[in-house]
A and B are shown apart, each in its own frame.
Chain A
Amino acid sequence: MTPRVTVQAAPFDLAAEMTALLAGRVDVGGLASFVGLVRADEGLAALTLEHYPGMTERAIAGIAAEACGRWPLTGCTVIHRVGRLPPGAPIVLVLTASAHRAASLEACAFLIDWLKTGAPFWKREEFADGRERWVEAKAADDAAALRWAR
């Protein structure tokens, strides 16, 4: 089973992606999904996502393959959007299918946690008053911070 990994500007179709993951199968007992959305905090007007074409897809494919090694998945889909997105817009979709619910739920959580810290994406916030700022990584994400001192 090869995970489906896509980075795209276009919206995704949750129902169509779920159907595709189950097509022709009767061995799936659980299909877990996570959809990340743009939240309108502090008067946010839009969120722009930037990525590293090539590396981003490779990095996600690598971690999806790791998820498939840790849990007995029958299907796995990761779609991450890039570009300028308004509040309420879906940003990311993770789908994981397995014979049993625990594997699908755990693998889904693993993938979305990893996407936060291990895939090269950057978010820039635009606010209604014209301010712009790059979202800073959470302190917890800095555990893996590089040390540059020579």
Chain B
Amino acid sequence: MHLLYFAWVRQRVGLGEEDIAPPPAVRDVAGLVAFLAARSPGHAAAFADPRQIRCAVNQEFADPTTPVGPEDEIAFFPPVTGG
């Protein structure tokens, strides 16, 4: 599973990307967030308030119930502020 972090999520985690192999119990975005929050102090800071986090699975906007699997590219980031 390939993870990408952007903006302040990247700054708090301390990484722009990483490859991980979560346990099989992690089946969706919400489960992945809970798993990641326990991974390091930086991750914990980034995911402290999941309501402030948005997610994309394979470059499509996702929600907490979106399934995730070992081959997926999953990105976490704050609400977007373009334009």
Instruction: Establish whether residues B56 and A52, one from each chain, have CB atoms under 8 Å apart when the complex forms.
Output: yes
Name the residue of chain A whose CB is nearest to the CB of B47.
A148
What residues of B have a CB within 8 angstroms of the CB of A118 in the complex?
A: 80
- Flag the segment in A24-32, A69-77, A99-107, A131-139 that touches B: A131-139
B50 within 8 Å of A by Cβ?
yes
Q: How far is the CB of B10 from chain A (nearest CB, A)?
A: 8
Name the residue of chain A whose CB is nearest to the CB of B31.
A150
Instruction: Establish whether residues B64 and A137, one from each chain, have CB atoms under 8 Å apart when the complex forms.
Output: no
Instruction: Establish whether residues B59 and A115, one from each chain, have CB atoms under 8 Å apart when the complex forms.
Output: no
Q: Decide if the interface of chain A is mainly helix, strand, loop or mixed.
A: mixed
Which residues of chain B from 36 to 80 have a CB within 8 Å of any chain A CB? 50-51, 53-56, 59-60, 63-64, 75, 77-80
What residues of A have a CB within 8 angstroms of the CB of B30 in the complex?
A: 148, 150
CB within 8 Å: A-B pair count: 91
Residues A122 and B78 in contact in the complex (CB < 8 Å), given A52-B6, A115-B83, A147-B51: yes
Query: For chain A, which range describes its interface: under 10, 10 to 19, 20 to 34, or 35 or more residues?
Result: 35 or more
Please count how many residues in chain B sit with their CB below 8 Å of the partner chain's CB atoms: 25
Which residues of chain A from 125 to 150 have a CB within 8 Å of any chain B CB? 134-137, 141-142, 145-150
Q: Contact residues of B with A, CB < 8 Å?
A: 4, 6-8, 30, 33-34, 50-51, 53-56, 59-60, 63-64, 75, 77-83
Q: Apart from A119-B82, A147-B51, A148-B50, what are 14 other A-B pairs with CB-CB below 8 Å?
A: A52-B75, A59-B59, A91-B83, A118-B80, A119-B80, A121-B83, A134-B8, A136-B78, A136-B81, A137-B78, A145-B51, A146-B51, A146-B53, A146-B55
What residues of B have a CB within 8 angstroms of the CB of A54 in the complex?
A: 59
What residues of B have a CB within 8 angstroms of the CB of A135 in the complex?
A: 81
Instruction: Establish whether residues A122 and B51, one from each chain, have CB atoms under 8 Å apart when the complex forms.
Output: no
Instruction: Establish whether residues B79 and A148, one from each chain, have CB atoms under 8 Å apart when the complex forms.
Output: no
User: A55 contacts which of B56, B63, B79 (Cβ < 8 Å)?
Assistant: B56
Instruction: Establish whether residues A116 and B54, one from each chain, have CB atoms under 8 Å apart when the complex forms.
Output: no
Give CA–CA (A6, B34) in the complex, Å: 36
Interface centre among A51, A58, A146, A147 (most CB of B within 10 A): A146
